Amino acid sequence: MDAKTMIDRVIEVKYVAGTFGSVKKPSQFLCLLLKLLQIAPDRDIVQKYIESDYKYLRALGCFYLRLVGKPSDVYLTLEPIYNDYRKVKVRTPDGKVIRSFMDEVIDELLIKDIYLEVVLPKIPKRFILEETEGLPLRVSILESELQFEEVEEQQEQERGGKGFEAIQDSFSVISDKPKKKQKLGTGGQNPQKEPAPESDEYWINLRKKLGLAPPKEK
């Protein structure tokens, strides 16, 4: 079996796992990983594994690269898979099969020294490689979404500012219009639609409210 014919065996894999159970039985995934270590395929073939749409073949390629790859190559190749949110099954050392996600598997491989009871080579922290080897900064897809939200927020603020100015202008137009004088006197009413204080009707109604007799006619 070589690296190419191994693909037929990977299709049978149902979960990512190391050893499990009380007797530490090796999983099919781990057996294929050990076979890859024996074959030592070319880097291009490993990349094909990682770029595969079949999630367990991708996980196998990532696990292998984490074991043998250079730290900078590991970061640059595995970090883009943080964007892969597909569900995967993981069999824990106690034998339980749990649901996980591809990005969680990648995170475990990058930040841990032991994963599924497999000892991983130690790699420097990312910021150290950025300072010593010029590793480019990691760009997350969330950054573009945050920038888009910032642009939207800025546009809303601009629209809000223009809206406020438009409201102010409308008020100024209203204030500039000449006001009609209310006709007061007999039969006239003030803006509250009450009889005008200068009218006789106003005083008659007020006296009624106070329980007083109407004013005497002159």
| Span 153-210, pLDDT tens digits | 666 666 655 555 554 565 555 455 554 444 434 444 444 444 444 456 755 665 565 5
pTM passes above 0.75 = no
User: Are 69 and 113 part of one and the same domain?
Assistant: yes
User: Are 89 and 118 part of one and the same domain?
Assistant: yes
Give exposure, 147-166, as e/b (b: 16+ Cβ within 10 Å).
eeeeeeeeeeeeeeeeeeee
User: Are 70 and 90 part of one and the same domain?
Assistant: yes
The answer to whether residue 76 sits within a structural domain is yes
Into how many domains does the chain fold? 2
Top-confidence residue, 76 or 203: 76
Band (pLDDT 50/70/90 cuts) for residue 33 is very high
User: Are 134 and 149 part of one and the same domain?
Assistant: no
Question: Torsions phi, psi of 163, nearest 5?
Answer: -65, -40
What CA–CA distance (Å, rounded) separates 202 from 146?
Answer: 65
Q: Residue with structure tokens 């964007």? A: 83
User: Are 92 and 72 part of one and the same domain?
Assistant: yes
User: Are 103 and 50 part of one and the same domain?
Assistant: yes
The answer to whether residue 195 sits within a structural domain is yes
Q: What percent of the chain shows pLDDT beyond 70?
A: 65
The answer to whether residue 1 sits within a structural domain is no
What is the three-class DSSP state of 34? helix
pLDDT of residue 170: 54
By residue range, what is the domain housing residue 45?
Answer: 6-139
pLDDT per residue as tens digits for the range 111-138: 999 999 999 999 999 999 999 988 898 8
User: Are 51 and 120 part of one and the same domain?
Assistant: yes
The answer to whether residue 112 sits within a structural domain is yes
